[in-house]
Chains A and B, each alone.
Chain A
Amino acid sequence: MSAGGQTHRLASGGLIDRGKPLGFSFDGQTMSGYAGDTLASALIANGVKLVGRSFKYHRPRGILTAGSEEPNALVELRSGARREPNTRATTVELYDGLVAASQNRWPSLSFDLLSVNQLAAPIFVAGFYYKTFMWPGALWEKFYEPLIRRAAGLGRAAPESDPDHYEKAWAHCDVLVAGGGPAGLAAALAAGRAGARVILCEEDATLGGRLLSDGGTIDSMPAADWVARAVEELGAMPDVRIMTRTTVTSAFDHGTHAALERVNDHVPVPPEHQPRQRLWRIVAKRTVVAAGALERPVVFGGNDVPGVMLASAVRTYINRYAAAPAKRLALFTNNDDGWKTVDAALASGLTIAGVVDARAEVSAGQRALASKHGFAVLNGVVDHVDGGKAGTGKIAVALAGGATATLEADGLAVSGGWNPSVGLTSQHRGRPKWRDDIAAFVPDGGPVGMVAAGSANGVFSLAGCLKEGHAAGAAAAADLGFGNSAGAAPSSDDDATYALKPVWHVKGKKKAFVDFQNDVTASDVALAALEGFQSVEHLKRYTTLGMATDQGKTSNTQGLAIMAELTGRSIPETGTTIYRPPYVPVAIGALAGHHRDENFHSVRLTPSHHWAAEQGAVFVDTGLWKRAQWYPKKGEKDWLESVTREVKAVRSGVGFCDVSTLGKIDVHGPDAGAFLDRVYINTFSSLAVGKARYGLMLREDGIVYDDGTTSRLAEDHYFLTTTTAKAGPVMQHLEFCRQILFPELDVQLASVSDQWAQFSIAGPKVRDLLKEIVDPSEDLSNEGFPFMAVREVLLRGGVKARLFRISFSGEMAFEISVPARFGDALVRKLMTAGEKFGVTPYGTEALGVMRVEKGHVAGPELNGMTTAADLGLGKMMSTKKDFIGRVMAGREALVAPDRMVVVGIKPVDQSRRLRSGAHIIKKGEVPSPDTDGGYVTSVCFSPTFDQWLGLGLVTHGRERIGEIAVAHDPLRGEDYEVELCNPVFYDPEGGRQRG
């Protein structure tokens, strides 16, 4: 592979591996770079200036920064299902075969038709859309909005499901250090030496931070050697963990952090069994934020032209990547730090076209450098830059005395000073404080246990960063009681003070950008001020300043400064917007981890699941459970045929159904009966041992909460069941009653839902089947085991089971419980033993059919809005005791005569299908809010009655039995007559279940 295209690759230097050339493509054009490059540095090395288009005006944009704060150089990385929009070219580690494309342009990057938006720029000012597009109203959705939407947005989401895996993990430590530059390394060394468990996270693939770009001397050795030694020392500590390619993005309560590890973003495709990214939840007792600082641009005309780049980024590209952003470079600075870029450029043999320094005085050394290399030092500011997609043209300088000058260069490095990274420290809504001496916000407090150190705290010398980082690490460890020596702080002779003269905005005629990506100009800020959007939050929301993918990292301070000047306030008086997590944007896939597709939620399987699957059962999701819905047989044409067969088999023979999903709770203790009396509306203390009773629970507000049967297994032992849906909530509620409301009662609860496999066995031949299962010594006769009796029985083979003579289907029925591990064996035994009786397994559909035929209420009726009386169960409410919900159940609106109550409903035309959700209207009335008289809650096709039947909640329902009303179902275009009837369709006398 040739490096021929790398016109801007420096001949030597850099941390790239020239022995490992890599090929890549940008917008279909193949190029080459080296291992160690980022996509941005490789593009620069190939002489590429134009990388993207801006959001609103589609102006040509280049690379502004060398970090994750990049607002301009966003690309679509990779292709197909792995296409990743808005990826910062500055953070993409180059790999062989990398494919990237520019975005938000049409038809191409260099010829973007949407750049006509620039012609309309006089109209397209901040908030212009609030003032127009109002008439006619319908055109907004049909015309204006689609137009705006198509033009807006940045890259495109992938067209298919993300094929990669994401992981989540927990980590715990004493001290978390965010940032692996000089301050972070010093902090980690100090805390680690003291004995603390340390996690050091670094966003970059390589530790060192600015040392990688700026070098320097630490402890009398080159910075790179010191970093290597520090890494070696840290690596030797057993309780120190270094995580590169990992960004601490968010600080939550009590020391919980989110950090994103880009495990395999630097390779084309993650290796097998490896995630693309990993979301770390790091719990730390102390946190040292050593996230560094970000250089800020200056607002002047044409400051967005490709080729205008932050001075520190220019240095990074030259020193770290041996890529020259320009061959003839100009610098515009207001501080000494910017001059380091001159040093870097000169050391690499580049030409300096001139330095524009806003400060009246520059140092003698700087003057000497200028005269040695023959470039001018102009005291003034850059007024504007000409140029376009090909790069910078003439640079017009406004000199301090009022004269003008011009520089010719193919690149302009800009330094407006540095902003400490206050994003993480301000996430708990703490506002940073302003420091005049560095003209920047610094952290002011922060989340509990978190401190900032180094340039993240406004310390801008290398010596200062090392010292403060070390002190912060040592203090964090000492605070936690680690007594070992933190050792000596690393030292450096670079303790230069940071001399800066604030320059925010150079007023001029050309468009001067504050927020590059969102195309917010200085005049937009002025317009916001004029119209009264002077609060920083109004400024942000009106102009979209700071709402780009960099979250204002490269724009907020300048915007604030301009607003401050316009309104005659200081910058701190103007304030800052709230810093929100995450510090850098995080892939949604990483936050979801494995919880997607079939693994979105866990799956609960019933004890008979595997057997049912063997039978070809169709399963239905019930909460997390998979339940057998019906068991299709060969030749059956649809679900209805299968369900009908199952129901008929139960009604005429015997069938069984897995009901293990019911919540099951053991209640033990001398006060168990008294306890249940307080939580159910009916009485359980009077229940005889060996008997079961249906029970109903209310919420404290008097509305029905749950129902189920409770059995008394011994004087001090009850066993209760809940509905499937409420198994967890009822357990929580009962524990609340026990632990909080009634601690005086001696009672214990144990959830045994998963311990018992439970089957309902129903039908006239149930005893015949059971006799094959239970030990012959057990008396199953109506006298020996009457309706609602319960007792432990011995099964053939010696397993003990609990047998309950209860019925949901209305047939003679038993429920049998065996320890869950025997559930599978039991169901197989039921099948073989029952073969001669035609035993039929039935699913939840048949269960539902029979409960509707029998008029039992279930989930659709227990909807959290109904009272016991609404359900026809008002008589169960004991008047002799207090219970949860008793008092509130008596409120006037809950006992009003016009409440909707449960009735039976059947279509007058017996061939007609009845549908849940149809509303009930009095015959002859026009459907309206005033005539809406209830609705159909549950329906079934009843094989027993050979027609559709249903239950409903109907106003004055019980007084209307026999009335012909209308089922009104406009959603499905149906209106038909129905008869309101007794909800118990099947065997209302109950003779069958009592046997």
Chain B
Amino acid sequence: MSTATSTQHASAHGHEAEHHHEPGFWQKYVFSTDHKVIGIQYGLTSLVFLLFGFLLMLCMRLQLANPGKPVAIFGNLLETILGEGAKGGIMSADLYNSFGAMHGTIMVFLGVVPLAFGAFGNYVTPLQIGAPDMAFPRLNMASYHLFFWGGVLMLGSFFVPGGTAKSGWTSYSPLATVAEFGRPFNGQTLWLIGMVLLISSSLLGAVNFITTIIQLRTKGMSWMRLPFFVWAQFVTGFLLLLAFPPLEAAGILQLMDNLLHTSFFLPTGLVVGGETLPVSGGGSPLLWQHLFWFLGHPEVYVLILPAMGIVAEVIANNTRKPLWGYKSMVYSVMSIGFLSFIVWAHHMYLTGMGTKVSTFFQTTTMMISIPSVIILTALFISLWGGSIRFNTPMLFAVSFLPMFGIGGLTGLPLGFNASDIFLHDSYYVIGHFHYVVAPGTIFGLFAGIYYWFPKMTGRRMNEVLGQIHFWLSLVGMNLVFAPMFIQGIRGMSRRMADGGTTYFGADDIAIHLNKSITHSALLLAVAQIPFIINLFLSIKSGRKVEGDNPWGATTLDWATPTPPPHGNFATEPVVYRGPYEYSVPGAPADFIPQDRKP
């Protein structure tokens, strides 16, 4: 084994570097095969998309606060760019719908997944397992470029005749097909082609990640010595690998419906605008929903698991304690992986698929909450008795716990089909999943950015700006999403372009909350300004880190030079111990790195 494993790494790298020319700009930053550069490419691109998706939502919120009046701040801009759809600065209902659809799509597929899986997974995973790079570096590059062009296509779809996709991020058929029937190259078509590119990118990424974790673990890095972050990425990889292809199939079928006028998802005798649609019929709208949610539910865990992984790393590091129940966390994350494939139809209780089927999915849904709760509990108990350092990454990581807790627990009434009949498609649902992904996942990702920034750049991010960013975001997030539970319980439906003013079910209290939510959303926008300033200023003028391991961490990502060179490690690391040996009694320091000889 020793002869087989010692053929690589930095000694060879240093030798090579003398003979090779320094790569040019394009090779180094655009067509790079280095996992760290690709990780940063993913990171920056997805942060831009996150900001863009956030601004779409801000426009919608500003419209909801004053239905029928011009959108504040962005009104003129919208009219200039989009013309007819935003006449006089007022969003048409169509435009509102398309912003809603694209907000969801961009946040999920172009923002959070690429940041959580593409950026952190790429940058950190090979470092933490002690690998010189990903197993397939060129495939890695291809996967970033597919993602990038998929994103460009999505953005371009705003400018095609008829506007961008406007049938929700779920693109339910037949609505998605009939919305622009007779105009083959519409926004929905571009959405589908964009999705096929994004899915292909994720598939290549998933193959690469899983292979890397299986094959390139360094000597001594056994499965139970993997940092929890790597476990989370490993399971996420499997979810992407196996859940995305059915959506790709669904996308191909819907493309056929849109372009070749097949009837995969169009029922017999469908009447649109008083006329029977000129298609054969014989298809099934329910089929789309099954195929979509077969991805859609594992996708939720694709969003949350990497964030959990980051939070686990940050918490172990800043409590100076081993994670409590590391093994049960690992088994839980595996159970989540398996169970997430058999819960999808809890999104479809109201489709009339039958009570027996509903009962099955209700049961599995309750089952999957168990491993999630185990992980959350383990992280909570990890805090117990630690001498906690409340730096910016830790603040984000700690607040992840209650925020994700709220998001998860409010999901239970949606998982029971009896209460779901009432809550379905209301603002309650929006409140629930935003608690999971916004103050949940995105806080986890912020923690990761603040935590690994010193490794990526050799400088720390500013602590004061970081704290401002955190506290304002925490307040803003809660003021935005908590009132949505009230709105939903009071019967306010989602997807109302006028904020529910003409909707008989919504009462005054629910509608009045729209204004306060909008103001809080503006606060949330302001809260991101210190982060953006911090991110760019710190690259050049942040405080330089002292040594390669500024946080006193145990995992291998901190055993590399800072920033890590091409090939990562100075010498091939050998692992002798578990991932979280903090505060070991009798040890000279309060942490023992994984590669320290016993």
A and B co-occur in one complex: no
